[in-house]
Structure 1
Amino acid sequence: MSPDTLQLDDETQLFCDYGRDGWSDLIVARKGKFLDFRVSGVFTNFPSEILAVCRAAIENAPLRIALCDEPGGSVLKLEPDRTRQHTIIFSIYEIAGPLLCADASKEGNLVLSIRVRRQRLVAMLMAELWKMHVCLKQPSYQKGRSGFPHKDLTNLNEAWDKSALGPSFLK
């Protein structure tokens, strides 16, 4: 399906599980099914990459990032729509092994492509990051988890609050 023919999707949900021992997941809930994209912390700083997606959506900028697994992984792609600027095309490609890590320049197998409101995409992902940010204040939640870009998150939240997509609901 061409990006021009994609209908607005106000139902698909995105979740981020910032797991222990370097493992995280991007989880997509769509039409009663779940897609799970595993991410290895050895190759990918998961929170930082999700922040990059949020930043690109706020700025309405194109982006490709790799979420590496062992082996393979996935590539997230954002494509701005210059005629419907309140929306963006969000796509996920699976990259199979034997690559040790996904390569953001590879297309791979397209598994999801949706037109989503930029404001909604930012809200879904920033809420997930904010939950991590808050939970990491608890020592028991910190155990087995690597560093988190707290300052980058709060700075991006301020930028979101001041942007045309704001105000942020995260305070």
Structure 2
Amino acid sequence: MSAQVLPLDDVTQFYCDIGCHGWAELIVVFRGQPTVLRVSGIFTDLPHEILKICRAIIENSSIRVALCDEPGGATVEIETDKKQQHTVILSIYEIKKSLSGFGADQEGEFVLSTRIRRQRLVGMLLAELWKTHVNLRQPSYQKGRDSFPHKELVELNKRWDQSSLGPSFLK
């Protein structure tokens, strides 16, 4: 879908469930419909991939990441817009093949594309990781969960706070 055709989207929401035993989900509610991107920790470290996306958004650079499931998965692409630098185009493509992992360059079936404010997107994604960061302080919440990039999250939050997209509301 052409970037010129996409209106600004202030409605789409993102949720992230860093589950137990390596399973996770990135949930996108787009036009009132949830799209659940299941992720297997065997092939993809979802918190690290979300941090990569957020780093690219803060730096206003394009990125494409693979979110592998068992089987298939999705790729998430962030494209910068030179004319409207406060926004990015977010696109998701479903990978249906029974693959045991794949790269970000894997072609897939188009799922959705939307123009979203950079500040809003980085806020939603980092807030989802921050909830896990805080909950992992509780021993009962830690049970069955993989390691989490606490230090990297705090450092990226500081970069966001000091960037033109800041200040961060995560304190």
Bigger CA drift: 7-16 or 24-33?
A: 24-33
C-alpha distance after superposition, 1:22-48 (max 9, x if no partner): 100000112221110100001111100
Partner residue in 1 for 2:71: 71
C-alpha distance after superposition, 1:24-82 (max 9, x if no partner): 00001122211101000011111000011110000000101100101111001010000
TM-score, with structure 2 as normaliser: 0.98
**Are 2:150 and 1:133 aligned?**
no
CA-based RMSD of the aligned residues comes to 0.8
Size of the alignment, in residue pairs? Answer: 171
| Structure 2 SS opposite 1:6 | coil
The residue identity in structure 1 corresponding to 2:81 is D
State the alpha-carbon separation in 2 of the partners of residues 70 and 164 from structure 1. Answer: 38
1:102 deviates by 3.3
**Are 2:145 and 1:145 aligned?**
yes
State the alpha-carbon separation in 1 of the partners of residues 114 and 102 from structure 2. Answer: 21
The residue identity in structure 1 corresponding to 2:132 is M
State the alpha-carbon separation in 2 of the partners of residues 77 and 107 from structure 1. Answer: 12
Percent of matched pairs sharing the same residue: 60
Q: List runs of 5+ in structure 2 lacking aligned partners.
A: none
Partner residue in 2 for 1:168: 168
1:154 deviates by 0.3
Partner residue in 1 for 2:62: 62
C-alpha distance after superposition, 1:95-125 (max 9, x if no partner): 0122112331023011011100000000000
C-alpha distance after superposition, 1:4-37 (max 9, x if no partner): 2110000000000000111000001122211101
Q: List runs of 5+ in structure 1 lacking aligned partners.
A: none
| Structure 2 SS opposite 1:5 | coil
Partner residue in 2 for 1:89: 89
State the alpha-carbon separation in 1 of the partners of residues 73 and 3 from structure 2. Answer: 23
State the alpha-carbon separation in 1 of the partners of residues 92 and 168 from structure 2. Answer: 26
Aligned structure 1 segments of 4 or more residues deviating by more than 4 angstroms: none
Partner residue in 2 for 1:114: 114
TM-score, with structure 1 as normaliser: 0.98
